[in-house]
Amino acid sequence: MFARPRVAIFRLFFMLLVCSGVVFAQSQTTGNVEGTVRDANGAAVAGAEVTVTSKATGEERKVLTDETGAFAVTLLPSGVYRLQIGAQGFRPTVFEDVTVAITETTTLPVELTVGELTGESVVVEASVGPIVQSESSQLGRVVDSRTVAELPLATRNFTQILGLSTGTATYLPDNTAVGRNSQNISVNGGRVTNNNFQINGIDANSQGTNSAPSLSVPAPESIQEFKVQTSLYDATFGRSGGGNVQAITKSGTNSYNGSVYEYFRNDALNANNPFLKAAGVERPVLKRNIFGGVIGGPIVRDKAFFFGSYQGTRERNGASVINSLSSNVFITPGLTNDRSEATLLALFNGRRPAGTPALTAINPTALALLNTKLESGQFLIPTPQTSNGLYSGTTPSAYDENQFNANIDYRFNDSNTLSGKFFFSNAPQTLVLPSFLGGGPNVPGFGNFQQNNNRLLSLQYIHIFSPTVINEVRAGYNFIRVDATPQEPVNDSSVGITRANAAAFPGLPLIRIAPAAGGVVIGTSPTIDVQAVAPSTTLADTLSITTGRHQIRTGAEFRYSENNYTLNFFTRGQLDFLSFDQFLTGSAFVSIFGSGIGDRSLRAPDYNFFVQDDFKITPRLTLNLGLRYELDLPPTDTRGRIATFDPTLYDPTRLASTGSGFVQAGNVIPEYDLASVPNVSDSVLRSRDANNFAPRVGFAYSPLASNRLVLRGGYGIFYSRTSFQYITLNVIA
């Protein structure tokens, strides 16, 4: 069914490539320099030689100005460059410090002075960089390594300053949060799941959720720069209709550079939580040490370079409102450390209405739970500290991380450069009060151990066919592991609870007592038993040819995403009691028990093609024309463990056979194949929209010669990649 649309797509792109005749590229990891060379009278200087030299690596590029005096040097790694412009009959002009930023264009208006070419040069000492982007309609902000490293980030996490970009919004970072504390951002009012993250040009997203918490987070000292593009980014970029975040890590230079650092936070420098202080609880522990070092330099000068970094984090945190603090948890008035049946009966009967028959026995399971103690000696259901039955306390959670970067850049010759970058992180943590979906305990005892691992490998190969024809190939692999294992200090059998799957899933059900009143919650959180890995592979190519006033990007990208997980949700069950007295009698208000197959091995390929023409109509007016095509196929499970409901198949007269309306994936394996449920497509979708064309039109106009004022406008269609999180909500369309 896709043959015709795909043929039409490839024909269209072939025609665009042939008819354009020019291709220009600034990619996810590079920028470019362009300008116009004129003499003192404003006349264009054609044939001037422009030499661009990296101050870090000595890499040199040369181009000639065209008949209009214009030049462009493309696919330049971010950094500082030296530009020298020379022409017959003019003195050479040198710009010593020209900054190139990822995804951006640095524009230089050059005026040559009459004189001998071999004479004294005219040197421009001032640092030159893109004050404002005057060549593109996109909105965004570049943040360099110095800014990232010097801002006071409590957990040294660059995602905590993504909200500094115009058009972004996020919650205030909680400096007491355990671990990375990565920030989700909303861009221009969009969902936080509508963003795209790339590190070193490679897809770094977690396809399972499309959110930031499991994102790789290189140390600020290892980040070269990052950019948040918030709207009207060109056809080079896709996958999301929200923000587009590009980050690159550092590379080595011709100079040896290194540093060591340590950042620390200690509870001795903090004030106590006012609620804990009022309850007579001491100041909670908060010890966070972040230490590491970076080093980089030449392996062979002007040819091979290395960069490496290490960062370790050691955190013991009892101040986290979410994961460590029990604040004003309602137990019940009058409960003491005397948990004998006689004392509890007196407490219960003492507040019964007059004339009501007295309770003669406490439910055995409730009595056992009330008298169960943890290894610390504290009761599983703690004793309230106030007469109104409230409990407050703190128990430290723990977080440890070891991460490193290993980067190598090698120049085979003036035309071929290969870069390889590898990021590694292992970050285990133990949360005393896990607070995932569905809630969790609000007093210590049933914590959660999490293993958070990240690996990101990127390879970049740049081949220069000529000063005006350049090709960039990127390949990479991103790996995310998120395992969550509940801690089970108490089992059902020890308190008299029977459960069919207790041997496979030991522990306690989640027990909530007076939840509407902020009551005590003990037991295993229903959503913290999960093992998940989410690898993805990226292949991309961008070709660049520069000529005349046209600057066009074209290329293709392929992504293959996986999500393999086991979810044991509600496998231990949940019991709710409306009040403490109902808990004493064993009268549950509601019970929940979950079972079934919670395993998935999801796969989805994405195919993307783009053409982008930045047409410089005048030196001050640029027209941005682009077309992107995205075919993001729906996920399928390798064993066909996907089902949904098709209302058109629902027939109440045939529910016992095939009229239930439920359907299952066509590739379901025999073990899971239900004879009464129809098999449909592997993704359980009836149709797939292959007409995902995304035109982009924009302009940038600089009315002032200084380029300090830019008027922008444009229109674009953007597609967002749906995460795998919604696979159970597939609808027959």
53 pLDDT higher than 80: yes
CA atoms of 212 and 226, how far apart (whole Å): 15
pLDDT higher at 116 or 144: 144
DSSP for 241-278 reads SS-EEEEEE----SS-EEEEEEEEE-GGGSPPPHHHHH
Give the residue, 383 or 645, on which the prediction is more confident: 383
The proportion of the chain whose per-residue pLDDT surpasses 90, expressed as a percent, equals: 50
Tell me how far apart the alpha carbons of residues 327 and 321 are, in angstroms, rounded to a whole number: 8
Average pLDDT, the chain: 87
What φ, ψ does residue 20 adopt, rounded to 5°? -70, -45
- The C-alpha atoms of residue 159 and residue 400 are separated, in whole angstroms, by 19
Q: Does the pLDDT value for residue 540 go beyond 70?
A: yes
Reported confidence tier of residue 436, pLDDT bands at 50, 70, 90? low
Tokens 């035309």 found at: 415
The answer to whether residues 560 and 605 touch, using CB atoms and an 8 Å cutoff, is yes
Q: Residue 550's pLDDT is what? A: 82
Q: 69: burial class by Cβ within 10 Å (0-12, 13-18, 19+)?
A: buried
- 95 and 89 in contact (C-beta within 8 Å)? no
Segment among 88-97, 172-181, 392-401, 648-657 with least mean pLDDT: 648-657
pLDDT band at residue 247, thresholds of 50, 70 and 90? very high
pLDDT at position 190 is: 87
Q: What is the mean pLDDT of residues 348-357?
A: 85
For the segment 156-180, the average pLDDT, to the nearest whole number, is: 86
Given this model, what pLDDT does residue 160 score? 86
What integer pLDDT is reported at residue 579 of this predicted model? Answer: 94
3-state secondary structure of 365: helix
Roughly how many angstroms between the first and final C-alpha of the chain, as a whole number? 15
Pairing mode, if any, of strands 93-100 and 122-128?
parallel
Reported confidence tier of residue 8, pLDDT bands at 50, 70, 90:
very low
Using one digit for the tens of pLDDT, what is the confidence trace for 225-237? 988 888 888 899 9
% residues pLDDT > 70 (the chain): 92
Reported as a pLDDT band with limits 50, 70 and 90, residue 128 is: low
Q: Confidence band (pLDDT; 50, 70, 90) for 417?
A: very high
The rounded distance, in Å, linking the Cα atoms of 564 and 489 is 29
Neighbours of 299 (CB within 10 A): 12
Predicted confidence band at 366 (pLDDT cuts at 50, 70, 90)? very high
SS3 100: strand
Mean pLDDT along residues 182-197: 89
DSSP, collapsed to helix, strand or coil, labels residue 585 as: helix
Sorting pLDDT into bands at 50, 70 and 90, what band is 655?
Answer: low
**DSSP assignments along 78-92, one per residue:** SEEEEEEEE-TTEE-
- Answer yes or no: is pLDDT of 16 > 50: no
pLDDT of residue 656: 62
What's residue 2's pLDDT?
37
Specify the pLDDT at position 724: 84
Question: How confident is the model at residue 1, as a pLDDT?
Answer: 34
The beta-carbon contacts of 420-423 under 8 Å, at least 24 apart in sequence, are 420/457, 420/458, 420/459, 420/460, 421/200, 421/249, 421/251, 421/456, 421/457, 421/458, 422/455, 422/456, 422/457, 422/458, 423/199, 423/216, 423/218, 423/249, 423/454, 423/455, 423/456, 423/457
Taking the CB of residue 374, how many other CB atoms lie within 10 A of it?
A: 16
563-620 tens-digit pLDDT? 999 888 888 999 999 999 999 999 999 998 887 788 899 999 999 999 998 888 888 8
State how far the Cα of 578 lies from the Cα of 554, in Å rounded to an integer: 63
Q: Which helix (H) or strand (E) holds 8?
A: helix 3-20
672 burial via Cβ count (<10 Å: 0-12, 13-18, 19+): middle
pLDDT of the residue at 11: 42
The helix/strand/coil state of 495 is helix
SS3 string, 673-730, reads CCCCCCECCCCCCCCCCCCCEEEEEEEEECCCCCCCCCEEEEEECCCCCCCHHHHHHC
User: How many C-beta neighbours within 10 Å does residue 19 have?
Assistant: 7
Buried b (16+ CB within 10 A) or exposed e, 597-619: ebebebbbebbbbbbbbbbbeeb
Rounded distance between C-alpha atoms, residue 227 and residue 140, angstroms: 7
Give the model's pLDDT for residue 699.
93
Condensed to tens digits (0 to 9), the pLDDT of residues 671-728 reads 999 888 889 999 888 878 889 999 999 998 988 877 778 899 999 999 988 888 777 5
**Average confidence (pLDDT) over 282-288:** 91
3-state helix, strand, coil in the chain (%, to 5): 10, 45, 45
What is the mean predicted confidence (pLDDT) over 161-178? 85
- CA dist 513 and 384 (Å) reads 14
H or E segment at 594? none
Q: Judge residue 3's burial from the number of C-beta atoms within 10 Å of its C-beta, 0-12 exposed, 13-18 middle, 19 or more buried.
A: exposed
Of residues 304 and 569, which shows the higher confidence score? 304
Pairing of strands 510-513, 574-577: parallel
Rg (CA), the chain: 31
Q: What is the pLDDT of residue 129?
A: 57
Mean pLDDT of 37-66: 91
